[in-house]
Amino acid sequence: MRTYDNPVIGGFHPDPSVCRVGEDYYLACSSFEYFPGVPLFHSRDLVHWRQIGNALDRPGQLDLPDDTPASAGIYAPTLRHHDGRFYLITTDVRGKGTFFVTADRPEGPWSDPVLVDIPGIDPDLAWDEDGNCWCALAGVTVSRIDPATGKVLEGPLPIWSGTGLQHPEAPHLYRVGDWWYLMIAEGGTAHGHSVSIARARSPRGPYEPAPANPILTHRSTDLPIQSTGHADLVTAPDGTWWMVLLGTRPRGWFPGFHVLGRETFLTPVEWVDGWPRVGPVREQHPAPEAWHPFQLPPVRDDFDAPTLAHSWISPRSRPDASWSLTRRPGWLTLDAKSAPVFLGRRQQHPDCRASVRIDPGSGRAGLSVRMDEAHRYDIEVAGGAVSVVARIGPVRQRIASRAVPPGPVTLTVDIAATDADTRAPDILTFSVEGPEMAVELAELDGRYLSTQVAGGFTGRVIGMYVTEGEAAFDWFDYQEALR
């Protein structure tokens, strides 16, 4: 029997929302304080996913102020397709509030934002048989809106607040047969996370809760996948039902540390007596009938393309003047004359290696493993020396340093997950290689770059940075380390 491995999209890809158009599936995730916002993926089988763009890829759509805190920004999108057009609705929690963008193709271009004046987060869109557009938000409320202007035509109407657990959120409305189903997350997005569902004859309610709620939770279990929730449903062309959801993979001693953030998992769904039934989310499941693996783009970037790959993200903004692929052809140049610059990609595997070849010139630049500004490990080159620097909350400490010759050097971080009975979830080893030298500089405990220490909703991002002057990067290579 063919099986697939969970997660289907590893690393910091939380709050998945999925829709199917014909035989193609499209999926969106939260992006929080990072720009561009809301990564978009395509699949033909729900297992193999390729990033095809970002819905919010220009400042006119996403303009996060410099003081936007880590884990603020863009929350919980819902992606839907209706009457030949794609709709993506989300919330900028510190800015414009709830809004949606539209596109003819999921790759974009996506429209400018259309505001929806309803308080709340985690918005959802659904259309009834009369063409009315309904917007549900955490709480849970539903409103009838104009999908062209965002104007509220009716509501918001309180419809169902779940089973009594904290934070009823992530509502999704589905029309299945003669029933409207309202699926939500509750219990908080940590260990108590769960999925519950109710149904009604109308989007307005009244809603009848499922007798077996919650239909999914891993709380108080020793399963390797935890915090399961914030789910969305989709049907395959063969009539089978599937659920995408977020989860975590904690490691190490109590309380357990997850470092990759909340990831996207896939699990099958059955319908029994008019209700969806979902078993525990396993590391392996029987695969969907369709099987369409495709060639993923290389994880090594030689910076020879005319534009940056979709996977590169930066905190809050990425001004055009801060980076260039043409200033030094075949190299990425980062310029910190106006402000420090960081360009990274999500860590997606517990065991991995990331390397970069850097010409620091007269600047200060390097390779960083980042949770947020206050939780990061850097290996940087400046003033003829390479150093490993750890930032943990208010403490910033230089761990190791040594001289390096002028010119390009290669900086590397090797990340190795530990056994389950150790305190640290993983160990990060930093090294430098240059002409006639290859030196391991430091080994650091990974728990300080975890959600349990840093807090927030994101995961690790590994990338290049410049804090002074200008530096050039010949290539960046990220690989899963197979044991």
CA-to-CA distance for 481 and 463, rounded, in angstroms? 17
Query: Which of the residues 45, 57, 169, 301 is marked catalytic?
Result: 169
CA-to-CA distance for 258 and 189, rounded, in angstroms? 13
Asked about 270 being catalytic, the answer comes back as: no
CA-to-CA distance for 50 and 106, rounded, in angstroms? 12
Comparing CA positions, the residue from 27, 95, 31, 19 lying closest to residue 60 is 95
- The residue written with tokens 């392996």 in the block is 284
Query: Which of the residues 15, 122, 124, 470 is marked catalytic?
Result: 15
- The residue written with tokens 């078993």 in the block is 279
The alpha carbons of the chain give a radius of gyration, in whole angstroms, of 23
Comparing CA positions, the residue from 238, 231, 204, 281 lying closest to residue 6 is 281
Instruction: Report whether 99 contacts 79 (CB < 8 A).
Output: no
| Angular region, 52: left φ>0, alpha ψ -120 to 50, beta rest | alpha
408: tokens are: 């390009």
394: tokens are: 């208010």
Asked about 169 being catalytic, the answer comes back as: yes
The residue type of 299 is: V
By annotation, the residues acting in catalysis are 15, 169
